[in-house]
Amino acid sequence: MSVPKVEAFARALRGEVVTSVRTASAAKVASRVSTLGEAFDDIESARTEAARIKDEVLDRLRDLLLEFEARATARRIQVHWASDAAEANRVVLEICRRVAEPGAIVAKAKSMATEEIGLNSALEGAGFRPIETDLGEYVVQIDGDHPSHIVTPIIHKNRVDVARSFVREGLGPYTEDPAELTMQARAKLRDVFRQASVGVSGANFLIAETGRIVLVENEGNNRFSTTAPRVHIAVAGIEKLLPSERELPLFLKLLAGSATGQRLTTYVHLISGPREANDPDGPEEVHVIFLDNGRTRVLEGRYREILRCIRCGACLNVCPVYRQVSGHAYRHVYSGPIGAVLAPALEGIDAIGDLAKASTLCGACEEVCPVKIPIPRMLLELRDEAARAGLGKRDIPWKRFATLAGSELLWRAGLTLLPIARKLPSALGREWAQKREMPMREGRSFREWWRERS
Ligand code: SF4
């Protein structure tokens, strides 16, 4: 199995895209380190505790989901279950058709789960007008693009790209000033919130003990999307639960510090249900759609720990491959190290297992992961699984190496001839040898050493 698709994408990437991704990623890595260092006396203990809690959630997932359903229902939150993307979209469309006119605006807050199910296409296909209200997601939408990072959707763009898009869409005069660009988007999106009949969000956490939905954000668009429209729908993976609100401070600090280098996000919303009779505002209906879409299968398998993920994006920022190729190279809504495991775990290695090779296995992703997901180990297991399934072609240099190492005669001959072979760069393949130097053997061979020892 090789990485031709990721590699080909990287080779064709414009220099300024690589610069944007590298610059933004490096800034996030630096701010993550300083913020988490200040926020926790012992970050290792905090990560270990977070991993333990998420494992407990996975062990008790069925019971916690039922507990959430009972508590949320008591709060008049309507809970739905979707086994796959089609079912999740069908539930959203049924709600929209019941409460909104054809052509109505649906205000979208940022949500990877709705990206995963392709909700915007489903809404448009049914005649509704989904409008992304997160600034980065809005730029992605007007450009007909896709997010390239799970936290920073336009990490691959710079302010010139955004300025040109806004002029093209008639949002205002050309400016590269981020504050002015934000004000242009704000003026446009305020009307969206006023006109929208339905607001759709994801959920950062769902609290089993209280039945509440937790959303974190920095722009305030989540608050508008979930309170101004008559109906709020939250779409979330079944693994997004926490047992109780006692665990929330730990996860809020880990998520903000790992994702954006903040002590806490600007807004933290705890949504307790639809508006009460004497509330001045708020939606008349609140729905939660729990999305499976392959997760129960992952839960039973060897990649179960990937479901600990809290979508902070820290593993993307630190990954040398992601920084070089950007998110689109992964051909999936989940990119970077998390995507390289989660995408094939959800969709099968035959569909997208090549992503497991898009890694140097340097281990940086595991080091920064706030819930200690052993991503490198899983990447190796995915590679092993793909090789055993006979998927993809084996890399030629390694095939040659395997032949050499599998025969005692050839191996002995190879060791004897090593000083000569070193001068032949094509011995293991020209491309392989271009960037590597065959090491010289130091001292005696292992066999000589073993003979003398015994
Ligand atoms: S795998 Fe870990 S570091 Fe990567 S997005 Fe998920 S929680 Fe964050």
Q: What pLDDT, in 10s, does the model give residues 344-381? A: 999 999 999 889 999 999 999 999 999 999 999 999 99
Query: With a 6 A CB cut-off, is 369 part of the ligand 1 pocket?
Result: yes
Q: What pLDDT, in 10s, does the model give residues 313-342? A: 999 999 999 999 999 999 999 999 999 999
Query: In ligand 1, which atom is closest to the CA atom of 312?
Result: 8
Is the pLDDT confidence value at 440 over 90?
no
Give the pLDDT mean for 122-143. Answer: 97
Query: Does 138 lie in the same domain as 253?
Result: yes
In a domain, 373, yes or no: no
Query: In ligand 1, which atom is closest to the CA atom of 365?
Result: 3
Q: Ligand 1: distance of its center to the CA of 425 in Å?
A: 39
Query: With a 6 A CB cut-off, is 318 part of the ligand 1 pocket?
Result: no
Q: What pLDDT, in 10s, does the model give residues 66-78? A: 999 999 999 999 9
Q: In this structure, how many other beta carbons lie within 10 angstroms of the beta carbon of residue 124?
A: 12
Query: Does 157 lie in the same domain as 285?
Result: yes
In a domain, 343, yes or no: no
In a domain, 313, yes or no: no
**Tally of domains within the chain:** 2
Query: With a 6 A CB cut-off, is 307 part of the ligand 1 pocket?
Result: no
Query: Does 417 lie in the same domain as 281?
Result: no
Which residues lie across from 234 on neighbouring strands?
A: 201, 288
Say what percent of the chain tops pLDDT 70: 94
At 178, which CATH number? 3.40.50.10420
Query: With a 6 A CB cut-off, is 319 part of the ligand 1 pocket?
Result: no
DSSP state of 305: G
Distance (Å, rounded) from C-alpha 311 to C-alpha 233?
20
Q: Domain boundary residue among 260, 295, 330? A: 295
Q: Ligand 1: distance of its center to the CA of 315 in Å?
A: 6
Query: With a 6 A CB cut-off, is 371 part of the ligand 1 pocket?
Result: yes
Going by their DSSP bridges, the two strands 267-271 and 212-217 should be labelled as antiparallel
Distance (Å, rounded) from C-alpha 432 to C-alpha 143?
38
Q: Atom 7 in ligand 1: which residue has the minimum CA distance?
A: 309
Query: With a 6 A CB cut-off, is 51 part of the ligand 1 pocket?
Result: no
In the block, tokens 């209200």 appear at 133
Q: Return the beta strands (E) in 145-246 as ranges.
A: 198-201, 205-207, 212-217, 231-237, 241-242
Query: With a 6 A CB cut-off, is 310 part of the ligand 1 pocket?
Result: yes
Query: In ligand 1, which atom is closest to the CA atom of 313?
Result: 5
In a domain, 5, yes or no: no
Q: Domain boundary residue among 245, 261, 295? A: 295
Q: What pLDDT, in 10s, does the model give residues 83-106? A: 999 999 999 999 999 999 999 999
Q: What pLDDT, in 10s, does the model give residues 390-429? A: 876 666 677 788 888 899 888 888 877 777 766 665 555 6
Query: Does 409 lie in the same domain as 290?
Result: no
Its pTM surpasses 0.85: yes
Query: With a 6 A CB cut-off, is 312 part of the ligand 1 pocket?
Result: yes
Query: With a 6 A CB cut-off, is 379 part of the ligand 1 pocket?
Result: no
Query: Does 282 lie in the same domain as 137?
Result: yes
Query: Does 287 lie in the same domain as 403?
Result: no
In a domain, 39, yes or no: no
In a domain, 288, yes or no: yes
Q: Domain boundary residue among 250, 272, 295? A: 295
Query: With a 6 A CB cut-off, is 338 part of the ligand 1 pocket?
Result: yes
In a domain, 207, yes or no: yes
Q: Atom 4 in ligand 1: which residue has the minimum CA distance?
A: 315
DSSP 322-369: HHHH-GGGG-SSS-HHHHHHHHHHHH-HHHHGGGGGS----SHHHHH-
* Range(s) of the domain holding residue 422: 399-453
Query: With a 6 A CB cut-off, is 135 part of the ligand 1 pocket?
Result: no
In a domain, 30, yes or no: no
Q: Ligand 1: distance of its center to the CA of 97 in Å?
A: 36
Query: With a 6 A CB cut-off, is 364 part of the ligand 1 pocket?
Result: no
